[in-house]
Amino acid sequence: MEKDKNIEKETPQPKGPVYDDQEGAAEELTIRQKLLGAFDRFGDLFMLNVYFSISCVPIITIGAAFTALYTVTNKMRADKDGRLFREYLKAFRENLKPGIIIFCADLVLIALVMILSQRPSFLIISGILFFLLSFAIPLQFPLLARYKNTPLRIMLNALALCVAHPLIWFKLYFIWMLPVVVYYFYPRIMLYTWYLWTLILTALFAYICSGFLLKFYEKIEAEDPTGQENK
């Protein structure tokens, strides 16, 4: 009996997941890309935080370190980041002098507030100074990272912008002060998490702030195109 020559050969089954169309494959590729991008960004923030922690060791350079930190996180948010260490070091050197001046001025003013608050006759003055400092400090180093200006003008502009745009001030103040409040009421948490600030948290918080700060910069620059000079 002859075999039927019309019998179709069995088609080999493809290995791996089978997609009805190309959309499923593209979606899986997109998810993988996002995961890889997230891990890559995490590594950048980790290294950035290490650079920041090292440059804060002399204490008086904390202002310049924060300025360099914001400079790099702004570029990360704008997808303009390049070599991490080189960009951080360049920003740190360029803002070293104004960063030290602003940071030391803030320390002096904070000390003055503390001294005046001990004297009942100066409570009103100390309260006013505390209010002004609370509004000015959160935006000082982000502005220094973005614009070229004198330390005094940076401090005054930070105060004016925070008063004129309280939502931006609230976001910055809330993000940076929330851990302080948590540590105040639950000091044991600080014992287990303090080292994270030297490894990732500081850069992560600055990266979060840069997300809405870039939009804020674009807004004020559109309103006043002849304002401060960008770096």
- Tens of pLDDT, residues 76-126: 999 887 789 999 999 999 999 999 999 999 999 999 999 999 998 898 999
Q: Which pLDDT score, from 0 to 100, does residue 193 have?
A: 94
CA atoms within 13 A on the CB side of 80: 8
Nearest partner of 75 among 88, 89, 57, 59, judged by Cα: 88
Around Cβ 171, how many Cβ atoms within 10 Å?
Answer: 18
* pTM given for the model: 0.83
DSSP state at residue 229 = E
Task: State the amino acid at position 52 in one-letter form.
Answer: F
Q: Evaluate if residue 1 carries a pLDDT over 50.
A: no
Q: Evaluate if residue 28 carries a pLDDT over 80.
A: no
